[in-house]
A = this chain, B = another copy of it.
Amino acid sequence: MDAGRLAALAAIAEAAADVAGAVIRPLFRADIAAEIKGDASPVTIADRAAEQAMRALLAERTPQAGVMGEEFGLDRPGAGLRWVLDPIDGTRAFITGRPLFGTLIALLEEGEPVLGVIDQPITGERWVGVAGERTRFRGPAGRVGTRRCASLAAAELSCTSPEMLGDAAPRFARLAAAARRVTWGGDCYGFGLLALGQIDVIAERDLKLWDWAALGPVIEGAGGLLRDWSGRRLTAESAGDALAVGDPALLEAAAACLAG
């Protein structure tokens, strides 16, 4: 796809992030339990309403593209372009009032992510990654660009939670032992921080397509790599383990720690 068309689609993705944020913000830290009929939680309401708002905008602006979302499945499965949406990545962060969840918007061309947006609607931070271009970042502090890291021993490692590791915990523990330090929490926001050169390595498990599709263009446009735990590119058939490194030279050593 040519750069002009990609730039136009990136602007549409940003408009989708804007409408999602407008839906999500009033529900963040809201005590609306008393107003709700049935079992829907604030995060469920925010998730569904934000996805519907994005779908409405995308259907109008890109009627030829398919849309896959975590909440409402896949429209137009035969389309060569497909939007992939995760309205609230980081459910636990949202539920507990931490402004580290994110809205994820990816565009796939024949199954390959060519555009990704990570949006944090409370802090106003936004990362936009477009294939072949430098990632853009808007926020109160920080600058795009992963950092050099001479070895795992100097690396800041991050992961959302010990619980997500399950039976892979011993493999993660080998990586943690080799790293300088580990910090917990973050979901997609952690990958954004890696793109800002604040974190060197992230290893996560159980990521679905909508969790990781937007991350690749952001990370790779900032100088890093997003792979699986074996160091291979992620595809729709990947098992859901993800390994991101800011300095590509770290990939081999990190994957060796995580090998089964």
Q: Measuring CB to CB, which residues of chain A are less than 8 angstroms from any residue of chain B?
A: 25, 28-31, 92-93, 95-100, 122-123, 140-143, 147, 156, 158, 160-163, 181-186, 189-190, 193, 196-199
Contacts and interface: CB of A to CB of B under 8 A. Distances in A.
A52 B248 CA distance: 40
B161 A184 contact: yes
* Copies of this chain in its oligomeric complex: 2
Nearest to A27: B141
9 contacts: A28-B142, A31-B143, A31-B147, A93-B183, A95-B181, A96-B193, A100-B100, A122-B141, A185-B186
Contacts of A95: 156, 181, 183, 198
Given A140-B122, A147-B31, A184 B197 contact: no
Given A97-B198, A99-B99, A162-B162, A29 B141 contact: yes
Contact of A97 (B97, B122, B142, B181): B142
B92 A181 contact: yes
A29 B198 contact: yes
Contacts of A162: 162, 184
Given A95-B198, A97-B198, A183-B185, 8 more contacts: A31-B143, A92-B183, A93-B183, A96-B158, A98-B185, A98-B189, A161-B183, A184-B184
A96 B183 contact: yes
Contacts of A160: 184
